């Protein structure tokens, strides 16, 4: 389950990195923070997939997000 959280965190980092990089390109500059976010997200996501390649295929990505959302909203 901890790898699920890391995978979702990496996906969120990559999403924010893409937004930051596109914003920087629209302004005609390079976003160093966007590059840092992209590298961190790619490294964390790669680490997760290398540790358990069968659990994080393309078809399992929605299930991973649902598991993490369910774990975060569980009240007990």
Give pLDDT tens digits for 23-64: 999 999 988 999 999 999 999 999 999 999 888 888 999 999
Q: Which band of pLDDT confidence, cut at 50, 70 and 90, is reported for residue 67? A: very high
User: 16: buried, middle or exposed (CB in 10 Å: 19+, 13-18, 0-12)?
Assistant: middle
Give the pLDDT confidence score for residue 76 in this predicted structure. Answer: 56
Q: Where are the domains of the chain?
A: 2-73
Q: Which band of pLDDT confidence, cut at 50, 70 and 90, is reported for residue 75? A: confident
Q: Is residue 20's pLDDT more than 80?
A: yes
Helix axes 32-51, 2-26, angle to 10 degrees: 150
Task: Evaluate if pTM is beyond 0.75.
Answer: yes
Give the pLDDT confidence score for residue 55 in this predicted structure. Answer: 85
Question: Distance (Å, rounded) from C-alpha 36 to C-alpha 72?
Answer: 27
């Amino acid at each position: 389950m901890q790898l699920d959280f890391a995978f979702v965190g990496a996906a969120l980092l990559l999403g924010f990195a893409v937004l930051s990089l596109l914003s920087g390109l629209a302004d005609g500059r390079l976003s160093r923070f966007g590059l840092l976010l992209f590298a961190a997200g790619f490294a964390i996501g790669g680490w997760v997939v290398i540790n358990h390649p069968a659990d994080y295929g393309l078809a399992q990505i929605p299930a991973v997000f649902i598991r993490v959302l369910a774990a975060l909203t569980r009240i007990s």
